[in-house]
């Protein structure tokens, strides 16, 4: 067993998590079982200011947060016991888990800039998981475009005429906001659907962001596979199957998780992207695969750990902590 670590978890309110589905909760339980000390804080408590002054007169930068010590247990309605909050430097921690949910907006991006000052191994540094720079530089629907040979036909644009031409070519399409999450705002537009123009008008009246357009893949009816990778290596997968008439398979919108095995194509996809993830400190990643195609690479706060353990007995949280502990030793 490694030496106990001080672990700060940057997350949405712990009080509201689903203890039987939340991956952050699984990571916290695993850390606690290893003797690590847990603290939680929310993004609005982050502060960047002056730290200590060296004998030579150089002033350091300090990132602090209002940290609450916490113990967790799998007991519904009583899953977290908090100590008194205090403002502390994140440089006093050994590990910071960046686990707040998107949207991937300027507030999210700013938090990664602040954590850049902390990330590292050594005095006044903490290993931030995932690496904040590469979370910032890897928007989940854009990172995948660096692997076009693995994707379905895809268009990212503001140009309405380009979108119409893409629909004319592929007939049945999916329209996605670039920086959403959980399946929110995703539309399927069929060849005879007359709502495309109204949808585009509504989006561009409310947003300055482009849209992602992809060919609809009928294989989604059999499920949208979430493959979990740790330091670039797949540890397992779950299948998320749409229910009713909804084309979306995300569990946030009613998709149902099912047991599934990795195919040879899945392994080929993982081998293609794994070295990039490992090189850039993206330790915990969840990718989405529909049929033979990679559709997203999720690096912000991936989910699926608890479902994977229930279906396959694979403790992905343990694999993640093994990786973190090994990196700190190295």
Is the confidence at residue 56, as pLDDT, over 80?
no
Last residue of a domain, one of 130, 163, 179: 130
Residue 17 counted as domain residue: yes
Same domain, 103 and 49: yes
In the residue annotation, 288 being an active-site residue is answered as yes
pTM, entire model? 0.91
DSSP 213-272: EEE--GGGGG-EEEEEEETTEEEEEEEEE--TT-----GGGT-EEEE----HHHHHHHHH
Q: Do 124 and 22 fall within a single domain?
A: yes
Look at residue 13 and tell me if it is in a domain: yes
**Co-location of 267 and 285 in the same domain:** yes
Task: Respond yes or no: is residue 259 known to be catalytic.
Answer: no
Q: Active-site residue 240, yes or no?
A: yes
Domain-located, residue 1: no
Residues 257 and 237 placed together within one structural domain of the fold: yes
> Does 267 qualify as catalytic in the annotation?
no
Residue 208 a catalytic site member: no
Q: Is the predicted pLDDT of residue 196 greater than 70, yes or no?
A: yes
Bridge partner residues of 70 (DSSP): 38, 82
pLDDT band at 55 (very low <50, low <70, confident <90, very high): low
Q: Which of 68, 136, 215, 248 is catalytic?
A: 248
What one-character DSSP code corresponds to residue 274? H
Whether residue 190 is found in the same domain as residue 261: no
Q: Over the stretch 249-301, which tens digit does the pLDDT of each residue have?
A: 555 555 789 999 999 999 999 999 999 999 999 999 999 999 999 999 999 99
Residue 34 annotated in active site: no
Domain membership of residue 322 as a residue range: 140-145+220-329
Determine which one of 30, 288, 307, 325 is catalytic. 288
- What's the structural domain count of the chain? 3
């Amino acid at each position: 067993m490694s030496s106990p670590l001080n672990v700060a978890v940057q997350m949405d309110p712990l009080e509201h998590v689903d203890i039987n589905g939340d991956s952050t909760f699984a990571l916290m339980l695993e850390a606690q079982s290893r003797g690590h000390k847990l603290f939680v804080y929310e993004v609005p408590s982050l502060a960047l200011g002056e730290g200590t002054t060296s004998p030579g007169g150089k002033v350091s930068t300090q990132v602090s947060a209002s940290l609450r010590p916490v113990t967790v247990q799998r007991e519904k309605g009583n899953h977290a016991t908090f100590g008194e909050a205090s403002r502390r430097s994140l440089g006093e921690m050994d590990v910071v888990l960046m686990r707040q949910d998107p949207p991937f907006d300027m507030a999210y991006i700013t938090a990664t800039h602040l954590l850049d000052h902390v990330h590292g191994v050594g005095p006044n540094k903490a290993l931030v998981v995932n690496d904040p720079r590469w979370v910032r530089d890897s928007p989940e629907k854009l990172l995948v475009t660096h692997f076009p040979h693995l994707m379905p036909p895809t268009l990212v644009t503001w140009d309405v005429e380009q979108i119409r031409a893409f629909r004319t070519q592929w007939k049945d399409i999916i329209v996605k906001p670039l920086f959403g999450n959980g399946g929110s705002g995703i539309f399927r537009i069929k060849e005879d659907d007359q709502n495309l123009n109204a949808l585009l008008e509504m989006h561009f009246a409310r947003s300055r962001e482009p849209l992602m357009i992809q060919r609809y893949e009928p294989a989604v009816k059999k499920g949208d596979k979430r493959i979990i990778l740790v330091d670039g290596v797949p540890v397992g997968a779950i299948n998320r199957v749409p229910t009713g008439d909804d084309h979306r398979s995300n569990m946030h919108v009613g998709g149902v998780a099912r047991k599934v095995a990795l195919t040879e194509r899945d392994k080929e996809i993982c081998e293609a992207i794994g070295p990039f993830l490992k090189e850039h400190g993206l330790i915990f990643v969840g990718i989405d695969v529909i049929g033979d195609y990679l559709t997203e690479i999720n690096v912000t706060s991936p989910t699926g750990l608890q479902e994977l353990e229930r279906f396959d007995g694979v403790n992905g949280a343990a694999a993640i902590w093994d990786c973190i502990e090994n990196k700190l030793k190295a």
